[in-house]
Every structure is written in C-alpha cells, then in structure tokens.
Amino acid sequence: MRITFLGCGDAFGSGGRFNTCFMVDTPNADAGDLRFLIDCGATSLVAMRRQGVNPDSIDAVFLTHLHGDHFGGLAFLLLQAAIEKTREKPLAIAGPPGAEQSIRAAMEALFPGSGTTQFPFPIDFISLEAGLAAQVRGVTVDAFRADHGAGMQCFSLRLSIGGKSIAYTGDTAWGDNVIAAGQGADLLIAEAYFFDRVVGKHTSYFQIDDNAEAIGAKRIILTHMSDDMLARREEVPYTCAEDGLVVDL
C-alpha cells in the first residue's frame, strides 16, 4: 500500500500547500489494483497534475466532511471528465449524507448551469453512517462522528484493505473519535492545526502527542498545519506531511 500526500495544507494555504488530498494505491484481490483519494480539497486537481496523476485513474473518493478544502476539488474533477469525455470507468464517492447535493451545488456555483450535468460514466454516491461499516470497492470504511460542526455531519475515517489500515482524523475537536479511529492503525494521519493552542473545532499537536499511547497507531503523520504549527514542526517526534510525500505500508 502506498500513500501519496497530494495536498496536506489547511484551508488557507499555509506554507503554500495544497488543500487536503491523500492518494492511496493498493492491490485489491477482488478487482485488481485500486486507487482512491481520502478527501479532495479545492486545489486537488492542480496537485494531481503537478504529481503526474491522471484524475481518471481514481476509483473512489472518501470524504470526511463537506468543507471546500476537503471536497471542493470534486467539482473540477467531475466537470473535466464530463466535458473532455476522458473517463469511462465508474467512480465511487463515499462521505457524509448530502455529499451529492453539495458537490452539485458547488459545480453550479462555480460554473453556472453545470449542476445538472449528466456524467458519461457511472457515479455511485454512498452515504456513510457513524458506527456502521461500509464496503466500497473492496475497502472497509468505518466512520466515527467528528466534532467539527457547521451544521453537517463530519467524520474521522478508518479505511482497511489487504490487512492494512489507514486512519484519518479529518478536521475535529479532540475527542474519543480520534482514539477510536486510530486504535492500532498501521498509519494515523492526524490533524495538528496549532502546536499547543486549541482553536475552533480543530485538533492541536499537543493533544495528539499527549494521547499517542492511548491511540496506539503504529505510525503517526501530522497534517493540516497552520503557520503556527509549521514554524515548530522541527520540535516534534513525528513525520510532518509535505505535498508530494510518499509513504509505503
């Protein structure tokens, strides 16, 4: 299993980083090789092009929540495929309830008239539910309710396939969801928005570090860092994500 951090930035481009978008390549015994995204922020299509990734190669997208820096790139990815007719294979999009409506609303806002686009390839929209495991393209998806507010459901996710598991906190205030999602995972990708301050409904580095033993993940990589955290990343004992970072599990 290979994870490529196409984008690891926050919503505001701190450090000149692309919005959140992690690409996972893994063998799938049921359907051959599988390539999926964890979140697809607004800048993700640019990030893919920079890394030489064909957007049409994506088999599935797993969304933690419906903020623009985590799902907004799907408007561009889907429209490019529809307009240029470059894609034929199916795409699965799994996330909080309302994902399809939010994606189409984003398309309409950005490109008026595009919200009702009929795609020339199958799209399977799957609503995840906290506490109920789902099977998507051979991936077992466990969603844990995250505390990020904004009047919508937000998740931390745990994705398992081929005996490996990746957990991602998403954006969330510290809570038991982080421990549950990351418990014993091969890799926990953890938000570390600030170093030692709690700002809004986000997780800070010190909360991850103070609870690392309870989480018990085999490896932790920090992401979604503000300028405050980026300035202190040399002080931490964990890998801090960079755009283009590649990790093999």
Domain of residue 224, CATH code: 3.60.15.10
Query: Whole-model pTM?
Result: 0.96
Per-residue pLDDT tens digits for 132-182: 999 999 999 999 999 997 678 999 999 999 999 999 999 999 999 999 999
Residue 69 appears among annotated catalytic residues? yes
Strands 21-28 and 32-38: antiparallel
Residue 72's alpha-carbon distances to 5, 103, 232, in angstroms, are: 17, 7, 29
**Which residue in 69, 142, 171, 243 is the catalytic one?**
69
Strand boundaries in 170-219, DSSP class E: 187-191
Tell me what percent of the residues of the chain surpass a pLDDT of 90.
92
Note down the domain range covering 208.
2-248
Residue 32 tokens read as 């051959």
Mean pLDDT computed over every residue of the chain = 95
Give pLDDT, residue 116: 93
CA distance 187 to 39: 16
CA distance 175 to 228: 22
Give pLDDT, residue 39: 98
Per-residue pLDDT tens digits for 49-92: 999 999 999 999 999 999 999 999 999 999 999 999 989 899 99
The answer to whether 93 and 70 have CB atoms below 8 angstroms apart is no
- 133: how many CB neighbours lie within 10 A of its CB? 12
In the chain, the number of structural domains is 1
